[in-house]
């Protein structure tokens, strides 16, 4: 029985992602989510208190998954430049596999509870910057990066470069070929 329950919840989440990304938060009705998920409208409310709770829950879950993956990469004992490359790949995988959720993120800043998302996203960004700065510090210690710039600032620059290729800003099917570009520009600059 537990598997059937989790399948219903997964179906609701999948339907919600499809509809929120296509129609936006305000235009999506809970009844449409229920119809697409092939459950009763009340079943949606069994798992989620409100449409807003469903929308926010999806986004928070995806942010936490990405954050966990980045932290796992940082803990792996490999060359810091390899870590940076793998972190870039993680973000691109997140964008590539979650185009619909990326579209929801864009809307979250204007659609629902701005303060909640503002605070959550600020905290998420701060955590990501600190994690990447930790790898940059390691690269400086191992003398594979010879920058006198602040590691937190460098982490912000790297994240900015990565986010430029978000599929809603940059429409390309395969982002993975941009990993090397970002790594090269970040590590070597544009003039030689």
pLDDT in tens, 52-67: 899 988 988 888 898 9
What average pLDDT does range 85-93 have in this prediction? 88
Please provide the average confidence, as pLDDT, over all residues in the chain: 84
Report the C-alpha gap between 71 and 77 in whole angstroms: 12
CB atoms within 10 A of CB 158: 25
pLDDT of residue 138: 92
Indicate whether 105 pLDDT > 80.
no
* Cα-based angle 89, 92, 96 (whole degrees, multiple of 5): 135
Listed range (8-17, 63-72, 141-150, 167-176) with the worst mean pLDDT: 167-176
Indicate whether 179 pLDDT > 90.
no
Indicate whether 12 pLDDT > 60.
yes
Residue 14: C-alpha distances to residues 5, 45, 47, 83, 117 (Å): 14, 15, 13, 31, 21
| Domains in the chain: ranges and CATH | 1-48 (1.10.10.60), 55-188 (1.10.357.10)
Place of tokens 């092939």: 38
169 vs 49, more confident: 49
78 vs 192, more confident: 78
What average pLDDT does range 137-146 have in this prediction? 88
What average pLDDT does range 18-22 have in this prediction? 92
What DSSP line would sit under 163-188, residue for residue?
HHT-TTTS--S--TTHHHHHHHHHHH
Q: Which pTM value belongs to this model?
A: 0.77
């Amino acid at each position: 029985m537990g598997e059937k329950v989790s399948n219903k919840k997964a179906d609701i989440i999948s339907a919600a992602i499809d509809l929120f990304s296509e129609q936006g938060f305000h235009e999506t009705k809970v009844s449409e989510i229920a119809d697409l998920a092939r459950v009763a409208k009340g079943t949606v409310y069994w798992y989620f208190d409100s449409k807003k709770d469903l929308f926010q829950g999806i986004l928070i879950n995806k942010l936490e998954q990405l954050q966990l993956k980045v932290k796992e990469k940082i803990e792996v004992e490999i060359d810091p430049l390899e870590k940076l490359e793998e972190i870039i790949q993680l973000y691109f995988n997140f964008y590539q596999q979650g185009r619909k959720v990326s579209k929801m993120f864009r809307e979250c800043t204007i659609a629902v509870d701005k303060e909640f998302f503002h605070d959550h996203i600020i905290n998420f960004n701060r955590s990501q910057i600190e994690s990447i700065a930790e790898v940059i510090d390691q690269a400086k210690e191992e003398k594979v990066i010879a920058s006198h710039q602040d590691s937190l600032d460098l982490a912000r620059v790297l994240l900015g470069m990565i986010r430029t290729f978000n599929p809603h800003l940059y429409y390309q099917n395969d982002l993975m070929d941009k990993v090397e570009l970002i790594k090269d520009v970040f590590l070597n600059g544009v003039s030689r």
